[in-house]
Structure 1
């Protein structure tokens, strides 16, 4: 530790026991007793999330919203001895976050209770601990996460860092420095430092306070000192001048370090380190956001705090990977949805040049779930808001404080006083940053004098969640003192590698078990959401609109809209999936938010049926793209170069888009129209008759090729390919390597349909988690096996504690094995807690006969219903999309779908009996094609004879020449594609053995 101060990380050696996965039982254990026998408990390292270790289940109060992972009641215990040198010192324990309702005991005595899972806290242990070097001290932490406590996956346990802090009686208080830069120019910057000094010695002391500023290279650039008489506490203010300061900015996030030294009687008693940055910013209601005097759009994302397969357990490596991905998409801002962030997240954003909107709460007194923070709000809101600010106020990345998200109380009369309490607490700790709220309550103008109207008088800015362009303009006119931005934009839902009906602006969802996925053509929307293209255009066209935060940057565990059924346990909102694999939305925003030339084709695979016509899109930030199929040009498409009304240039097609029904006049009725009078799309389009081979996009600027993207048809799966994200790793037992596993053909092309079960083995390290980005999955995140999804999976590997080589091997039946190696570097601080052993997972067996379908339009029309013998039930591909704020209702029939029956063993088929429903929404199919799976390929039925039924739900009998196989499939062509009456419903399906 620093002179006079010791900081001891409390990471290793914790003992843990999950007492009750429901968390409802009264705790009758004596786990707080130092003499309690915890020898049978697990040894774990902190940060630790016990929920992510569990198997997804519908028991223990879980819901889809929290990822079907249990919470419960758990205990942690840590035994440690303190040296004699600590006698007479002040000793405290700090936790950065415990989810949730934590009670901390030291040597048998309860020393603190902290309900909120997202703020840190410190507890004084000085009078309770032994400092003789021999006697063990025992910290015991009870954690209770009774579900539902959150709308998204929260994790459970001591999921952020913990530490002991040992100081002299005279020391810098916790969060005891406040650094601001009130005057900044090219020549100099004034750095104002307020230092809070505590004196617990019982006698007044004269204290010398020294402040020294160093730049990133360790050079001293300013220093000063003063003396103060400190009886109990005192605050001393210094002003230092830094010559020719280097600004913290998006592209060059330069940081300085303040070193605070306290001296008493000529002896150093404390040294305290505070990173900070020199920058200016302001947000103007009419001129938007400016950083260091330069106009900039906020190009932001919302993220929840889980780290995919690692759960909520904080890892700086995993956070850095997430935010580096976001930065590569063009992101320059992050909203901490909907809670204060970890210190590691703040540090990474500082390093990468990403500004932060730090948010306090998802609810106030009125909760959104039975066991959420609403229970504790009245007693704790000021303390938690203050802790949020103190923990982050010195960060140059932080530019706004949010008092809440979609808070029910925020538009109620009682909520005005609640807001005042939070606002007063925040401004008491930091008066330099604007205050905002993120809200879905302002999609229409509030009545003058209403609580919703009065709330806006308290704030500097308003974050809007899913507002139309016209409502944004109305608010700007009605509240000229507020700066406006989109705190949640878009919220389109998509699954990596899934594509559906690009001709429609909103599509139905597939409810077939095992096939629950949504389209990546930016065209699957919930009733309140909007396409990514629409959200961007609305923001782009208004200089005064400060910017947007895309919901969401990365898929997260829980909240799997549009589904609410096991085992769909992860969200669909992200531009990147939970494994960190970009989806197409990533490339849309990359094309709008970055300058380096790029082009991206979708669909991202070139495996289709001969005769299909495929709608191909290109996202690009270059004006001209030519598409080639097997070397033949399919034509060039171009964006028009346009200007916003304030003169900023952008690329867009010029055409009607049909994406905003509130525009009823002008040149493009029904389409979002820019204030400059133009409308268009942010992608280029070709309709391509499929032909196997290579599809290539060539982007040109001024006739010169500046970017390409290539898709290739694949052959049979041949091998596994492993790619680690780094060449070396610290051998500290905590650092992470992210290894991508791909199923490839003989030419090294990823096979999109590959779903092999992959097993992973690690030597010289350990597995930390597995993922594949699939939202519908009952697989454990912490297992030795994972199914590939669209040809990919991710292994997160934790380093060992010995220098040498970390070796990762992946195996799958029928595929060539691959091994990846990473060099492990010597590290000073090494983990001592053994890594947990993961067991392999095994997919649940399938019952036979088993029905499947390419698409099921509703959750109550699944293929299994065609086999239950009840004509009142049945499978259907019919769907209905309700109207949204921008789009009309839609229920047009799909052109073609299939339904199949798998009997699990080889048999002979020569006929199938199928009963079709005919009603206002369903018609007989125009054609039925029959195929049988022989174990290697689908074989088309020949000599087909069809006896069509003459009544609804009566059997249609289809006979054919006998075929042997285990599965029979019927491909059904709609008689009325695109019309409300054209869906197909099968109430009974039987394929008797020949």
Structure 2
């Protein structure tokens, strides 16, 4: 089917009881919007909003979207199907006043066949009602609205069903790949038809490699699947280092005329697991250097722009990740497309809840009725993505169940659902692994273990280490994991070695781990052959679950799960919401062997000596700064990350001595000294020889702004450009304490989209073009407006020299 994007020229309005009752004749205050659109990110947050810390104190919404659609005359007699990639909220779709569809999962894509509801002699009115006022409805920021793309599929009377052109690698023998190509075909006429189905495969650069035909005979209104075995010899593997993609084109020909066609990209790769070697990709053992991420795009809210999704994958790749876990629902197709192109392995998760909810109005209200529909939609839509290596049927499902650990009958329902979902996945896709993430058992969720590390308190969930004869966690999970190919362990690193002996056939994946225990996480992952990888919570910071990664100076405040208003971000990502690496990310570089030079961070003098309380997902509150005006002569702690035998720190050329900084100190060394403006330098040594240096220096006051766009040339068709805004001193050094208010002005072939910082406590709106810098930085996002030319972006700040950058749109 022909696929036409219809994101442009929608209207949006607040819904009301009156409008709900009069949807055929809406009288609303409409405003123009283009999709994707997230209405929540435009609205002020309030501490009284019932969404609470989970959704970042954001408001709920009840909305209408409207689009007037004129159909081309040549489409008359064809099949017309709308595809909604994602609508956040309970959604109803009306065509010309008639209700034609309802959908209840904000993360799954769905189709609406409008063939019998449209007219060609006049405009057609599409109205979508989105209801998301009942709060809390999510454990993280979800947004509200038509936040992903909308498409119109146009197909012949005989057509290939969308999402139903699949390629499966059946076998690889020597240098030959044996592929099975399948296409589901529908005949919408009241008579039988005959024709041919032609399958063509193209190389990564668009050259035709091979083509094959299959006879096609369909009865009246019949649907059937046409399949064909095709061999490629030689062929190229899809891999994370060389993500080679082929293209399949399926064409229906009747009487030599093309009736319909469909295409998709695919990759050829193999995956397997065994307890002695772990995970193999294309026959090669690989450990997953993974991170969990949520679906939002930071300053853009949940709005899913293709470039925003691609940029997330670029950031992850640049930081050494080779795998990502999609928490805890299906993501946008554009994100998976980017993973395919750039070489990122994916665990795609279906559900955060099953029958028992985690918050009052989440998906558990609809799970019983719609789980199979949503699961099938996701697998059918995403089947061809070579990046996806595992399906996850659920995350920490036991939350909210309230069943005693010894109540075997109570847990039987969970086991039954686990088996049921796993079998359904295998029925739809036998080529991939099935997993699910299991955390602490419900009886222990209220029990927190407080440990003291370096004089500070770390609050974490119980380790639940195995105790012979009293292994509650092992007892509960043993049957659950029977139905899975890979057992997902959330925060259970301490069990890896024990379970290798107790369950020798079990394959384990660290589906969530704490950032602060990174060294142990990775050491245990490497040591145990049956552990396939480690996924930190999280790789990129996100909106909602506000403050779960905060560090407190008040013990009572630290015992609260989420941060009090105005906390907005989780504050636990390796990468912040503006795309900058945080200290924990540079430490990860050392642990993973990606960085040879040492890395310096400093605990600010205002925190030195204070008793700190770490939330479970927190990192040390260190900064990449040696500029603390007014704190001269005050004590500070200099932290050095390095994979070295020793490191030596110099303050203004004066040595503070050498310290061990190798595997026995978990690649960390700490120096207590006194703040004196100037230069701190760290030198790393191995075998007595210098292997790398790092330094930071005190800067002067900010005098100007510096702009760094992620790209200087972008597409004119709704593409995005991300522009870093940095305050600099007279020597163009970044000033980390600058908090000037900046204003962004955009002219030419683009428009302003968002302005954000990594400040987790700010109440400033991202949609405002004015905002205070945070630690000397901000991030502006601009969008091209389907015009070729230039986007001129100028940023001003009181007391600072302004800066300007020109982005070319082609």
- Deviation at residue 758 of structure 1 after TM alignment: 1.2
- Deviation at residue 60 of structure 1 after TM alignment: 4.5
- Counterpart CA distance in 2 for 1:166 and 1:53 is 34
Matches within 5 A, 1:777-796: 777-796=762-781
Matches within 5 A, 1:499-578: 522=516, 531-560=517-546, 561=548, 562=550, 563-578=562-577
- Deviation at residue 711 of structure 1 after TM alignment: 0.6
CA separation of 1:393 and 1:629: change in aligned 2, threshold 3 A: same
Q: Counterpart in 2 of 1:9?
A: 5
Report Cα offsets for 1:947-967 as digits up to 9, x if no partner.
Answer: xxxxxxxxxxxxxxxxxxxxx
Structure 1: unaligned runs, 5 residues or longer: 21-25, 493-521, 523-530, 640-651, 655-679, 826-994
Q: Counterpart in 2 of 1:270?
A: 260
- Deviation at residue 229 of structure 1 after TM alignment: 1.6
Matches within 5 A, 1:218-297: 218-231=206-219, 232-297=222-287
Picking from 331, 334, 357, the partner of 1:344 is: 334
Contact 1:98 1:158 survives alignment (8 Å): yes
- Deviation at residue 273 of structure 1 after TM alignment: 0.7
Picking from 643, 660, 663, the partner of 1:653 is: 663
- Deviation at residue 450 of structure 1 after TM alignment: 6.2
Picking from 131, 134, 150, the partner of 1:144 is: 131
CA separation of 1:449 and 1:321: change in aligned 2, threshold 3 A: closer
CA separation of 1:331 and 1:130: change in aligned 2, threshold 3 A: same
- The reply on whether 1:770 has 2:755 as its aligned counterpart is yes
- Counterpart CA distance in 2 for 1:220 and 1:154 is 43
| Structure exhibiting the larger radius of gyration computed from Cα positions | 1
Q: Partner of 1:350: helix, strand, or coil?
A: helix
Q: Counterpart in 2 of 1:76?
A: 65
CA separation of 1:702 and 1:247: change in aligned 2, threshold 3 A: farther
* Aligned-residue RMSD, C-alpha: 2.2
- Deviation at residue 120 of structure 1 after TM alignment: 0.5
Q: Counterpart in 2 of 1:606?
A: 626
- Deviation at residue 792 of structure 1 after TM alignment: 0.8
- Deviation at residue 699 of structure 1 after TM alignment: 4.9
Matches within 5 A, 1:633-644: 633-635=655-657
Q: Counterpart in 2 of 1:36?
A: 26
CA separation of 1:176 and 1:653: change in aligned 2, threshold 3 A: closer
Contact 1:436 1:463 survives alignment (8 Å): yes
- The reply on whether 1:757 has 2:745 as its aligned counterpart is no
- Deviation at residue 308 of structure 1 after TM alignment: 0.4
Q: Counterpart in 2 of 1:457?
A: 482
Q: Counterpart in 1 of 2:782?
A: 797
Q: Partner of 2:190: helix, strand, or coil?
A: coil
Q: Partner of 1:64: helix, strand, or coil?
A: coil
Contact 1:762 1:808 survives alignment (8 Å): yes
CA separation of 1:30 and 1:77: change in aligned 2, threshold 3 A: farther
Picking from 505, 513, 517, the partner of 1:481 is: 505
- Counterpart CA distance in 2 for 1:587 and 1:60 is 36
- Deviation at residue 9 of structure 1 after TM alignment: 0.8
- Counterpart CA distance in 1 for 2:677 and 2:411 is 60
Report Cα offsets for 1:41-76 as digits up to 9, x if no partner.
Answer: 011011111011111123442311101211221110
- Counterpart CA distance in 2 for 1:241 and 1:700 is 54
Contact 1:97 1:161 survives alignment (8 Å): yes
Q: Partner of 1:767: helix, strand, or coil?
A: strand
Structure 1 range deviating more: 783-792 or 284-293: 284-293
Report Cα offsets for 1:511-542 as digits up to 9, x if no partner.
Answer: xxxxxxxxxxx5xxxxxxxx333322332322
- The reply on whether 1:171 has 2:159 as its aligned counterpart is yes
Higher-RCO chain (CA-CA 8 Å, sequence separation at least 6): 2
Report Cα offsets for 1:873-899 as digits up to 9, x if no partner.
Answer: xxxxxxxxxxxxxxxxxxxxxxxxxxx
Q: Counterpart in 2 of 1:359?
A: 349
CA separation of 1:623 and 1:273: change in aligned 2, threshold 3 A: farther
- Counterpart CA distance in 2 for 1:542 and 1:448 is 20
Decide which structure has greater helix share: 2
Q: Partner of 1:388: helix, strand, or coil?
A: helix
- Deviation at residue 705 of structure 1 after TM alignment: 6.7
Q: Counterpart in 2 of 1:619?
A: 641
- Counterpart CA distance in 2 for 1:268 and 1:63 is 55
- Deviation at residue 632 of structure 1 after TM alignment: 4.8
Contact 2:175 2:234 survives alignment (8 Å): yes
- Counterpart CA distance in 2 for 1:821 and 1:746 is 23
Q: Counterpart in 2 of 1:56?
A: 45
- Deviation at residue 392 of structure 1 after TM alignment: 1.3
- Deviation at residue 436 of structure 1 after TM alignment: 0.8
Q: How many residues align?
A: 735
- The reply on whether 1:742 has 2:726 as its aligned counterpart is yes
Report Cα offsets for 1:132-182 as digits up to 9, x if no partner.
Answer: 3xx010111011112211000001011111111110011111211221112
Q: Counterpart in 1 of 2:148?
A: 160
CA separation of 1:227 and 1:739: change in aligned 2, threshold 3 A: same
Contact 1:89 1:126 survives alignment (8 Å): yes
- Deviation at residue 376 of structure 1 after TM alignment: 0.3
- Counterpart CA distance in 2 for 1:715 and 1:264 is 75
Report Cα offsets for 1:823-876 as digits up to 9, x if no partner.
Answer: 222xxxxxxxxxxxxxxxxxxxxxxxxxxxxxxxxxxxxxxxxxxxxxxxxxxx
CA separation of 1:227 and 1:93: change in aligned 2, threshold 3 A: same
Matches within 5 A, 1:865-876: none
Q: Partner of 1:427: helix, strand, or coil?
A: helix
Contact 2:589 2:595 survives alignment (8 Å): no
Q: Counterpart in 1 of 2:793?
A: 808
CA separation of 1:413 and 1:616: change in aligned 2, threshold 3 A: same
Q: Partner of 1:249: helix, strand, or coil?
A: coil
CA separation of 1:396 and 1:705: change in aligned 2, threshold 3 A: farther
- Counterpart CA distance in 2 for 1:204 and 1:691 is 87
- The reply on whether 1:332 has 2:322 as its aligned counterpart is yes
CA separation of 1:447 and 1:691: change in aligned 2, threshold 3 A: closer
Contact 1:598 1:622 survives alignment (8 Å): no
Q: Counterpart in 2 of 1:725?
A: 710
- Deviation at residue 588 of structure 1 after TM alignment: 1.3
CA separation of 1:634 and 1:242: change in aligned 2, threshold 3 A: farther
Q: Partner of 1:731: helix, strand, or coil?
A: coil
Contact 2:158 2:259 survives alignment (8 Å): yes
- Counterpart CA distance in 2 for 1:690 and 1:272 is 65
CA separation of 1:813 and 1:237: change in aligned 2, threshold 3 A: same
- Counterpart CA distance in 1 for 2:565 and 2:500 is 43
- Deviation at residue 770 of structure 1 after TM alignment: 1.1
- The reply on whether 1:378 has 2:371 as its aligned counterpart is no
CA separation of 1:155 and 1:227: change in aligned 2, threshold 3 A: same
Q: Partner of 1:302: helix, strand, or coil?
A: strand
Contact 1:72 1:147 survives alignment (8 Å): no
Q: Partner of 1:565: helix, strand, or coil?
A: coil
- Counterpart CA distance in 2 for 1:712 and 1:542 is 42
- Deviation at residue 619 of structure 1 after TM alignment: 2.7
Report Cα offsets for 1:620-649 as digits up to 9, x if no partner.
Answer: 45666554433455555565xxxxxxxxxx
Report Cα offsets for 1:552-605 as digits up to 9, x if no partner.
Answer: 011100102154311101111101111112100111112233546443211211
Q: Partner of 2:791: helix, strand, or coil?
A: strand
- Deviation at residue 544 of structure 1 after TM alignment: 2.2
Contact 2:568 2:760 survives alignment (8 Å): yes
- Deviation at residue 414 of structure 1 after TM alignment: 1.8
- Deviation at residue 321 of structure 1 after TM alignment: 1.7
Q: Counterpart in 1 of 2:611?
A: none
Contact 1:186 1:245 survives alignment (8 Å): no
Report Cα offsets for 1:886-943 as digits up to 9, x if no partner.
Answer: xxxxxxxxxxxxxxxxxxxxxxxxxxxxxxxxxxxxxxxxxxxxxxxxxxxxxxxxxx
- Counterpart CA distance in 2 for 1:186 and 1:687 is 60
Q: Partner of 1:235: helix, strand, or coil?
A: strand
Q: Counterpart in 2 of 1:434?
A: 433
Contact 1:622 1:700 survives alignment (8 Å): yes
- The reply on whether 1:18 has 2:19 as its aligned counterpart is no
